[in-house]
């Protein structure tokens, strides 16, 4: 069949089963848009900024487990997409991004809208390709999806020159299979390593399971739950891992790390056996490495060998798909008797009594924590919640316990403000039947605000919960604690009227200034099934996120709300920021 490169590309995407493409046109991709126009099986979502396209594809991928797809033009289209690509890369999200490139004959001549896309994105993609020849397109697309979705997933960029989209060639169809000598993601779980892990588990007296984003991305929620129940061990989850194990279950200690619960962090510190599952010992999790889990043997389960030993030395590593490894562990434990850990649970329950998430309400102001709790109640804990970055993100993670995986969508690794709104749009397209809430802040929402327009055009009704504290709150908090309350550039005067703003975009806007209006407003908003509602909640501008491990401190050196004065940390701690 004679087709041009653009038509081939579209056929490849169709053959991959792609249903949604998020993108923005421009000169270098006009042939591709022309071919898309004739395609009836894929919906193209026209965003208002390329970063929004990539975040939306990302939210779609995180929610559905499928590969997200974004399409952008050359030059500024590509550079606008980079933040989104880096965000997906840091959190290991499967994604294929297609960018246009100037014609191959003028590459290197500083042509109009030419940038070295492969060079610019090299360090924030799992892999990238430059395609200059229509003959290479089908094979490259096949490779790109294969690489993006297997092993440790990640974004793959395909940069396609304009002439490659124009050239007409004989197209033999999309390849059925692919094999690459340099990329073999399948790993057999090593039985010896599993046996060694079981030995450690079977002699643990103060064990803890520390589960991360890999348990969500690796669809290992069931196996993780089975292992946790089988062992009776306490489990703590990272910001990226929330939902893989039900947070409301009694074995769950909540989140760990900088703003994790007291019981999680104390249990990590006191543990003699840490089972790290799909987690990478991020600095926001470990606190001061010199004080990290001083008495624990560490078992590390991960798909990526380079994660092992990168930050923390471990006693046993088991490389493989998290699911496979957990199943092997469960099997290996079948006839094993585990030591009684009642004493450990007693200790943990004492730490729980500290009630580290308790906060004081104040009459006349809405506490942001109360707003998140109200959202939890109104949605019965069953919404997909996306978030932006800042204090509101931490409160969302702390006060909205997730019982299911792929319900909590946030930029944990890169911490990209602006992620929440487009991600919510992608999530709604992936799960149209579920309620989607975007918990955001007055700073973050303004970074991708323009996507409100996309959301009207493409009918993705979500509920925007703006925890409006009038500040870049997380920055303000650090300045209060560590910079002697010198609030340099963290106060945003001249905020827009978010209600009018939402209305001008064709959505519903509600402002909530009193606590008693909170729940009725949320109930009213979620009744509007097919409308996007912007709920602007005026919250206490001075509230801080607690508990907190100040940088430089260990897990056992947490500061609790209203109980500890924030001692200023040492310089080496501040260096960690």
Partner 1 sequence: MRHIISVQLENESGALSRVSGLFSARGFNIESLTVATTNDPTMSRMTIVSIGDDNIIEQIIKQLNKLIDVVSVTDLTATEHIERELLLVKISLKNDSQAEVDRVLDGFDAKIIDASEEAYTIELAGKSQKINDFIEAFDADKILEVSRTGVTGVCQKI
Residues of the shown chain interacting with partner 1 in the complex, contacts defined by CB under 8 A: 118-119, 122-123, 126-127, 130, 147, 180-183, 304-306, 308-310, 313
Whether residue 474 lies in the annotated active site? yes
Among 44, 392, 406, 555, binds ligand TPP (CB under 6 A): 392
Whether residue 428 lies in the annotated active site? no
Among 65, 175, 185, 415, binds ligand TPP (CB under 6 A): 415
**Looking at beta carbons only, is 241 or 441 nearer to ligand TPP?**
441
Answer whether 144's CB lies under 8 Å from 129's CB: yes
Question: Which string of DSSP letters, residue by residue, matches 74-92?
Answer: STHHHHHHHHHHHHHHHTT
**Looking at beta carbons only, is 13 or 475 nearer to ligand TPP?**
475
Q: What's the CA gap between 24 and 21, in Å, rounded?
A: 10
Which one of 425, 447, 474, 558 is the catalytic residue? 474
Which one of 19, 42, 113, 482 is the catalytic residue? 113
Q: Could you tell me the two tokens for 500?
A: 């009018």
**389 binds ligand TPP per the rule CB under 6 A:** yes
| Local structure of 96: helix, strand or coil | strand
Q: What's the CA gap between 339 and 516, in Å, rounded?
A: 50
Among 18, 102, 438, 467, binds ligand TPP (CB under 6 A): 467
Per the listing, tokens 């043997």 go with 297
CB of 480 to ligand TPP, least distance (A): 12
CB of 206 to ligand TPP, least distance (A): 35
Binders of Mg ion among residues 416 to 445 (CB under 5 A) are 441-443
Q: What's the CA gap between 482 and 477, in Å, rounded?
A: 8
CB-count burial class (<10 Å; 0-12, 13-18, 19+) for 346: exposed
Which one of 66, 126, 143, 162 is the catalytic residue? 162
Q: Which does 415 bind (CB under 5 to 8 A by kind): Mg ion, partner 1, ligand TPP, none?
A: ligand TPP
Q: Could you tell me the two tokens for 251?
A: 């074995």
Whether residue 113 lies in the annotated active site? yes
DSSP E strand stretches across 401-461: 408-409, 436-441
CB of 472 to ligand TPP, least distance (A): 4
CA-wise closest residue to 401 among 275, 252, 300, 542: 252
Q: Which does 404 bind (CB under 5 to 8 A by kind): ligand TPP, partner 1, Mg ion, none?
A: none
| Local structure of 337: helix, strand or coil | coil
In degrees, rounded to 5, the angle at the alpha carbon of residue 447 between the alpha carbons of residues 420 and 436 is 20
Q: What's the CA gap between 470 and 541, in Å, rounded?
A: 6
Q: Which does 416 bind (CB under 5 to 8 A by kind): partner 1, ligand TPP, Mg ion, none?
A: ligand TPP
CB of 513 to Mg ion, least distance (A): 16
DSSP E strand stretches across 197-336: 207-211, 235-237, 252-255, 273-277, 297-302, 316-319
Stretch binding ligand TPP (CB under 6 A), from 426-434, 436-444, 449-457, 527-535? 436-444
In degrees, rounded to 5, the angle at the alpha carbon of residue 208 between the alpha carbons of residues 205 and 213 is 165
**371 binds ligand TPP per the rule CB under 6 A:** no
> What track of x and - describes contact with Mg ion for positions 463 through 502 (by CB under 5 A)?
------x-x-x-----------------------------
| Local structure of 240: helix, strand or coil | coil
Active site residues per annotation: 50, 112-113, 162, 474
- The residues of the shown chain that bind ligand TPP, judged by CB under 6 A, are 388-392, 415-417, 441-444, 467, 469, 471-475
């Amino acid at each position: 069949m004679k087709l041009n490169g653009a038509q081939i590309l579209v056929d490849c995407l169709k053959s991959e089963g792609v249903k949604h493409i998020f993108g923005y046109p421009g000169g270098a991709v006009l042939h591709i848009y022309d071919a898309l126009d004739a395609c009836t099986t894929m919906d193209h979502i026209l965003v208002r900024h390329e970063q929004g396209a990539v975040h939306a594809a990302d939210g779609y991928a995180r929610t559905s487990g499928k590969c997200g797809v974004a399409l952008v033009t050359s030059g500024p289209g590509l550079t606008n997409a980079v933040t989104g690509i880096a965000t997906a890369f840091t959190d290991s999200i499967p994604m294929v991004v297609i960018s246009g490139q100037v014609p191959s004959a003028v590459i290197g001549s500083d042509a109009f809208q030419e940038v070295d896309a492969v060079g610019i994105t090299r360090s924030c993609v799992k892999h990238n390709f430059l395609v200059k020849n229509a003959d290479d397109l089908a094979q490259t697309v096949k490779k790109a999806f294969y690489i993006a979705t297997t092993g440790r997933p990640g974004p793959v960029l395909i940069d396609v020159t304009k002439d490659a989209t124009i050239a007409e060639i004989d197209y033999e169809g999309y390849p059925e299979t692919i094999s690459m000598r340099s990329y073999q993601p399948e790993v057999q779980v090593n039985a010896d390593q599993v046996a060694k892990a079981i030995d450690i588990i079977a002699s643990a007296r103060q064990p803890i399971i520390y589960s991360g984003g890999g348990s969500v991305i690796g669809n290992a929620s069931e196996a993780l739950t089975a292992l946790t129940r089988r062992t009776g061990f306490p489990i703590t989850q990272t910001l990226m891992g929330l939902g893989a194990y039900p947070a409301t279950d009694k074995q769950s200690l909540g989140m760990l790390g900088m703003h994790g619960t007291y019981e999680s962090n104390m249990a990590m510190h006191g543990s003699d056996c840490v089972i790290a599952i799909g987690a990478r010992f991020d600095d926001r999790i470990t606190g001061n490495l010199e004080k990290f889990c001083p008495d624990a043997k560490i078992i590390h389960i991960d798909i990526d060998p380079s994660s092992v030993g990168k930050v923390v030395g471990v006693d046993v590593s088991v490389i493989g798909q998290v699911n496979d490894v957990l199943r092997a562990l469960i099997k290996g434990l079948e006839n094993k008797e585990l030591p009684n850990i009642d004493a450990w649970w007693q200790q943990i329950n004492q730490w729980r009594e500290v009630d580290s998430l308790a906060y004081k309400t104040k009459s006349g102001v809405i506490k942001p924590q109360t707003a998140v709790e109200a959202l939890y109640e109104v949605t019965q804990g069953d919404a997909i919640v996306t978030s932006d970055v800042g204090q509101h993100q931490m409160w969302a993670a702390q006060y909205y316990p997730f019982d299911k995986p792929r319900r909590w969508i946030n930029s944990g690794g890169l911490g990209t403000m602006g992620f929440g709104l487009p991600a919510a749009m992608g999530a709604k397209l992936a799960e149209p039947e579920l309620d989607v809430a975007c918990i955001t802040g007055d700073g973050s929402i303004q970074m991708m605000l323009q996507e409100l327009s996309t959301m009207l055009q493409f009918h993705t009704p979500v509920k925007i919960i703006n925890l409006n504290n009038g500040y870049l709150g997380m920055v303000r908090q650090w300045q209060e604690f560590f910079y002697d309350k010198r609030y340099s550039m963290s106060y945003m005067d001249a905020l827009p009227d978010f209600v009018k703003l939402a209305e001008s975009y064709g959505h519903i806007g509600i402002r909530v200034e009193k606590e008693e209006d909170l729940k009725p407003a949320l109930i009213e908003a979620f009744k509007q099934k097919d409308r996007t509602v912007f709920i602007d909640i005026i919250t206490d501008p001075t509230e801080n996120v607690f508990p907190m491990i100040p940088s430089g401190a260990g897990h056992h050196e947490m500061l609790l709300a209203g109980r500890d004065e924030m001692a200023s940390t040492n310089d080496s701690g501040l260096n960690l920021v």
